[in-house]
Structure 1
Amino acid sequence: MPFAVLSDRTILTVSGPDAEHFLQNILTLDLDKLGQGEAKPGALLSPQGKILFDFLISRDGGDGFRLECRKDIAADFLRRLTLYRLRAKVELSVEDQAVVAVSWGSDSDASQTDSTWAADARFGKGTVRRLYGAELPPSLPPPHKREGNEGTAAWHAFRIAHGIAESGSDYALGDAFPHDVLLDQTGGVGFQKGCYVGQEVVSRMQHRGTARRRVLIASGESALPAPNTEIVAGGKALGALGSVTGRHGLAIVRIDRVKDALDAGQPITAGNVAIDLAIPDWATFTFPQQAGAEDV
């Protein structure tokens, strides 16, 4: 069972009788569709529709929620949620000692009887499970066997291969719309729910079909250059690399410009490396038939 302890992740808890109503009114995802034992992606947006904080959210008991996020943004995330709390009967806290781990692969459901695990909804059913708790369960290997190939590097390689982007590694907070990073594809945006912060912009992008920046999987003829390297074709910038592992990586690019380059037979490069760009096989969007539409 491949697994990794994600030391750069932590848990923010939201509990109390108003917790679900409070979160439903400000977050992008629809909590009515969040089941027990699953972790779904979501975001808190600016009024302009840009992602301020990204996370995975799961239920924690009767009226509680866990929001798994980057450890370096947790304090700011807590402060922002506190600003929205007003008179809502909720309690907010960061679990500084929380353990966040992940297991993946065909046998990742081996610990389903352990209630501290939640299925990561961004991947196929049972493919990835998240662990939240004060300590690792005894079902995982002992500490002296937790190094080697099955660690964070292997986890990020798996994530990259599946086209799953995360802030910090693939994009900067405050600089991306939910569509840019495929939250509309992974269940991270509820298009049938009521209003939430930034909802008007996101809804307009969805209904007008104006989303042009998308996460694609990049494959190089040789090892890819460093993250943030510009991707170009025919002298025109398409976007930039995000996470990279060897010859493979993620890229947020203008898919209309990618299609123009493909139609013209122009090589696409990152640095001096020729690359191919592909839509993740689970995604439902396609390259546009007509290029040139601009983002919101």
Structure 2
Amino acid sequence: MATILRAGRAVVRFSGPDAHRLLNDVLTGPFAEGSETAGWWALLSPQGKILAEGLAGFAKGAWWLDVAADVAENFLKRMKMYRLRAKAEIEDLTETHRVGWARDRLEGGIVHRDARGGGLGYRVVATADAAAAWGEGEDFARARIAAGISELGEDFGPETTFAHDIGMDLNDGIDFVKGCYVGQEVVSRMKHRGTARRRPVVVSGIAAPAGSAVVAGGREAGSVGRVVEGHAVAVLRLDRITDSDAVTVEGAPATLRLPDWASYAFGESADAD
């Protein structure tokens, strides 16, 4: 299977003796050098809302991160601010490199396994020239939605969503062992107090655009993200889903399914925060 271009993603390269420390001290995820798996990470606001998110993999003496192109400029600005006196180079490779996806591991480029949702194939980073031969299509979006994985830019906007809301805590996107990072206090409180009220749900049978409301029991529970062939991921209030068979999107019946990796259930009510 050919590599599929992920046109909405930008590449940022972190290198230098303090690059690992910088990423570890600022972003949520675990950063393991030598791993064949790309770790999920998020940059949070001090209030715990996601400003940027993506995958990070180590190769050729540097860390290669992908991020939604729409928030790449803000991500770079903030990371350079947090760098202070750290000996780390931060490079915007938007013009020179591309992000791709392959279902099976292929040779060529910088390749890391995407383990989210039980396995989403492989993330590929390559030069723009090499990526010119890549294909286009919705294969990655289709696989991501089926796995119940939400993505900033496709499913939600910046500063609207907590890391727990999109299941980062259940997909190794949060390192609960390491020390403080930006927004860590909020993340830790949500974990220990059980205050995650919203969670990813796969919605099917949609004949409406992204952003359309999911209504359960006469109340809005959330909204759908990018829709591909009638399917989307929605971050929903679980406590409002008392009957998963009585849900509508834009007035039309829809079907809900929890991701295979979910440890939560419909009807759950989180503790008050």
Shift of residue 70, structure 1, vs aligned partner: 1.6
Q: Which runs of 5+ in 1 are unaligned?
A: none
Q: Structure 1 residues 261, 44: CA separation in 2 closer, same or farther (over 3 Å shift)?
A: same
Q: After the TM superposition, which of the residue ranges 128-137 and 268-277 deviates more from structure 2?
A: 128-137
| Identity fraction in percent | 36
Q: Structure 1 residues 79, 154: CA separation in 2 closer, same or farther (over 3 Å shift)?
A: same
2: CA distance between counterparts of 1:205 and 1:42?
A: 17
**Residues 1:128 and 2:121 aligned together:** yes
Equivalent pairs counted in the alignment come to 272
Counterpart residue number, 2:55: 56
Matches within 5 A, 1:112-123: 113-114=107-108, 116-123=110-117
Shift of residue 135, structure 1, vs aligned partner: 4.4
User: Aligned to 2:73, what secondary structure does the other structure show?
Assistant: helix
1: CA distance between counterparts of 2:140 and 2:203?
A: 17
2: CA distance between counterparts of 1:269 and 1:288?
A: 16
Counterpart residue number, 1:225: 208
CA contact (8 A) 1:34 1:40 kept: no
2: CA distance between counterparts of 1:17 and 1:275?
A: 51
Choose which of 253, 269, 289 in structure 1 pairs with 2:248.
269
The residue type paired with residue 79 of structure 1 is K
Counterpart residue number, 1:71: 69
**Greater Rg, structure 1 or structure 2?**
1
**Residues 1:160 and 2:154 aligned together:** no
2: CA distance between counterparts of 1:292 and 1:284?
A: 13
1: CA distance between counterparts of 2:212 and 2:33?
A: 37
1: CA distance between counterparts of 2:218 and 2:67?
A: 37
The residue type paired with residue 119 of structure 1 is R
CA contact (8 A) 2:222 2:237 kept: yes
Counterpart residue number, 2:82: 84
The residue type paired with residue 50 of structure 1 is K
User: Aligned to 2:70, what secondary structure does the other structure show?
Assistant: helix
* Aligned-residue RMSD, C-alpha: 2.1
Cα deviation per residue 1:131-157 (whole Å; 9 max; x = unaligned)? 1121465xx9x84xx65xxx3322211
2: CA distance between counterparts of 1:187 and 1:80?
A: 23
CA contact (8 A) 1:238 1:254 kept: yes
Counterpart residue number, 2:8: 8
Shift of residue 288, structure 1, vs aligned partner: 5.2
Counterpart residue number, 2:37: 38
CA contact (8 A) 2:117 2:148 kept: no
User: Aligned to 2:71, what secondary structure does the other structure show?
Assistant: helix
**Residues 1:235 and 2:226 aligned together:** no
Counterpart residue number, 1:287: 266
Q: Structure 1 residues 234, 286: CA separation in 2 closer, same or farther (over 3 Å shift)?
A: closer
The residue type paired with residue 13 of structure 1 is R
User: Aligned to 1:202, what secondary structure does the other structure show?
Assistant: helix
Q: Which runs of 5+ in 2 are unaligned?
A: none
Q: TM-score if structure 2 supplies the norm length?
A: 0.92
User: Aligned to 2:52, what secondary structure does the other structure show?
Assistant: strand
CA contact (8 A) 2:118 2:261 kept: no
CA contact (8 A) 2:28 2:41 kept: yes
1: CA distance between counterparts of 2:96 and 2:71?
A: 15
CA contact (8 A) 2:109 2:125 kept: no
2: CA distance between counterparts of 1:191 and 1:249?
A: 29
User: Aligned to 1:40, what secondary structure does the other structure show?
Assistant: strand
Shift of residue 36, structure 1, vs aligned partner: 2.7
Matches within 5 A, 1:115-194: 116-124=110-118, 127-135=120-128, 143=133, 151-194=136-179
Choose which of 90, 93, 114 in structure 1 pairs with 2:91.
93
Shift of residue 286, structure 1, vs aligned partner: 3.0
Q: Structure 1 residues 103, 29: CA separation in 2 closer, same or farther (over 3 Å shift)?
A: same
Q: Structure 1 residues 278, 43: CA separation in 2 closer, same or farther (over 3 Å shift)?
A: same
The residue type paired with residue 200 of structure 2 is V
Shift of residue 122, structure 1, vs aligned partner: 1.2
CA contact (8 A) 1:3 1:155 kept: no
